Amino acid sequence: MSVQNTEHKFTMKEIKLQSKFPIKTPESSSKTETFIGYDKRSLEKQHHVTSNKIPFIATAIASLSLVSFGYMLGYTALAIPQLTTDEAQIELSENSVAWFGSLIMLGAFIGSIIAGRMIDHFGRQCTLITLSIPATIGWFIIVSAQTVTALLAGRILTGISLGMSSVSYSVYMSEISTASMRGLLGGSIQFAISTGYILNASIGMITTWRYSAIAGQAIATILAIGMVFMPESPHWLIANGYRKTAIDTLRRLRGPEANINFELTEIESLKHRQQIKYSELWSPSVRKPFLISLFLLIAQKWTGFHSVLFFCPYILRMAGFQDFRLIILIMAISQFVGSGVGYALAGRFSRVKLLLSCSALMTVSGALLGVYFYLLEAMSLNLLWLSFISTCGYVLGFNISWGGLAYAIMSEILPLRARGVASGLSASVGFLAAFAASYAFLPLAQAISVQGSLWFYTGLNVLIAIIVFYCVPETKGKKFSDIEKIFDKKKRMDKTTMV
């Protein structure tokens, strides 16, 4: 006797009834079923789609920390020329100029370590509020400074705030966003920093260094006030036992009609109440993402971007621009355009492809800029158009990808329990690399010529691109649980066994 295998085709009415009143099966009626009236696939789909504006508003407010970041970095370019004139109330010597420009990176080194601990113990939102304190005090000291020592003290304090923002913003942004939103919001990192650059350059066009410092102080104050009304990260709330508050926060972030069950379960699956120690960074599941994070932030500082920026005023003056304020504004606009393009591309293209393509752009631009200096020195051939195009290409390449994506990828690949410690340590090492890179260029240029140093960075960019291609995983559109499985061999083996 044969048994016919018939297939029942459901009508739309039956499908709608099934979604409301699911048929109980041995699998669906198990204790692990938590999604009443929904299947897991539909919940995953809802998890990626949200019409709520709160994540975008919270990201915009938090990004003021990065606007302040860019404002602080760009401040010295306008202040130093004013502080080195005979009419200056406080006249900086050559040695003081070097310290005034570089101490912010040492302050950032301290701030990134502080933030690495703070975001785990006190929360992401609290850290973003707290970083306004050293920034506000530092700017106040600079505004009222009557001595060089006061100026240097103000730069250290603003640097501490800068370092704290580099750690806290990327983690906060990635944790309040859905997987589909992180690409778009991740592009806001360099966009916000470039906004700070262009804001500083614009204000500097019409005022003095003291009034520019007042504007920097205002940004920090607005950030602190705005973040008081923003939600805490649901990941941090779950990890620290505030489950009810996390549920309320998720509803606020995703909207009152959104089903948060799937996302809540995913966050809880990543929960580790006991935060790791520095020695545990070498555990199998943490070591590789931590090393990749270190590589990304060190590579970001050694792409040669900051060295090219150092020569921008010189190059553009040769092109006929004599006003240093106008030169700085032009470069700030170039950075702003590049970060705007990066913001638009971040949600459409993969992280790795953007890093590779922009590394190629910086490689070509650096090589051509080296050719410009070689022709200028060897043949007295001054191709101003070549210097301008290659410089802008370098600036655009960095701001489209490396400026923001390095931090975004770091915040995505680090497991939740290591995110605070590892991101803080990675950022601090990155700032030390920035300090070293800014001091290494001039001795390098004196030893092997300007073009030789630019070609050295060209070779570094090729090496960086190779390492990115082979070692950096793609994270676009992936949930945190899926990213952890890339590095966690045990989870991958469990998944293979289940299949």
- Report whether 427 contacts 297 (CB < 8 A): yes
450: containing domain: 52-230+272-494
- Candidates 286, 266, 284; CA nearest to 276 is 286
> Which of 34-48, 122-136, 242-256, 470-484 reaches the highest mean pLDDT?
122-136
CATH number for the domain harbouring residue 368: 1.20.1250.20
Q: State how far the Cα of 80 lies from the Cα of 100, in Å rounded to an integer.
A: 8
Query: For the packed helices 54-62 and 64-83, what is the interaxial angle rounded to 10 degrees?
Result: 20
Q: Check residue 117 and give its pLDDT.
A: 85
Tens digit of pLDDT for each residue in 11-67?
444 434 344 434 333 333 333 333 333 344 443 443 444 447 888 899 999 999 999
CB 152 within 8 A of CB 182: no
236-263 burial, b if ≥16 CB within 10 A, otherwise e? bbbbbebeeebbebbbbbbeeebebbbb
CA distance 205 to 196: 14
Contact 56, 79 (CB under 8 A): no
Query: Can you give the pLDDT at residue 489?
Result: 58
> pLDDT at position 41, please?
44
Instruction: State the average pLDDT for the chain.
Output: 80
Is residue 43 assigned to a domain? no
Any domain includes 12: no
Cα distance between residue 368 and residue 450, in whole Å: 12
Indicate whether 245 belongs to any domain.
no
Question: Quick check: is 261 in a domain?
Answer: no
Q: Which of 119-123, 181-185, 344-348 has the highest mean pLDDT?
A: 119-123
pLDDT, tens digit, 9 for 90 and up, residues 389-440: 888 888 889 988 888 788 888 888 888 777 778 888 888 898 888 888 877 7
Within a domain: 399:
yes
**Is pLDDT of 383 > 90?**
no
What is the total count of domains within the chain?
1
Reported as a single tens digit per residue, the pLDDT across 238-285 is 888 888 998 999 988 888 777 888 888 888 876 654 556 677 778 777
What gap in Å lies between CA 265 and CA 68, rounded to an integer?
A: 36
Q: Would you say 468 and 359 are in contact if contact means Cβ atoms under 8 Å apart?
A: yes
Domain assignment present for residue 330? The answer is yes
- Among 111-120, 172-181, 292-301, 313-322, which is the least confidently predicted range? 313-322
Specify if 4 maps to a domain.
no
Q: Which amino acid is at 457?
A: Y
Would you call 50 helix, strand, or coil by DSSP? coil
**Is residue 15, in this structure, part of any structural domain at all?**
no
6 Cβ neighbours under 8 A, 6+ residues apart: none
Report which of 217, 200, 204, 202 is spatially closest to residue 158, judged by C-alpha positions. 217
Please report, for the chain, how many H helices and E strands are present, in that order: 24, 0
Whether the Cβ atoms of residue 487 and residue 288 lie closer than 8 Å to each other: yes
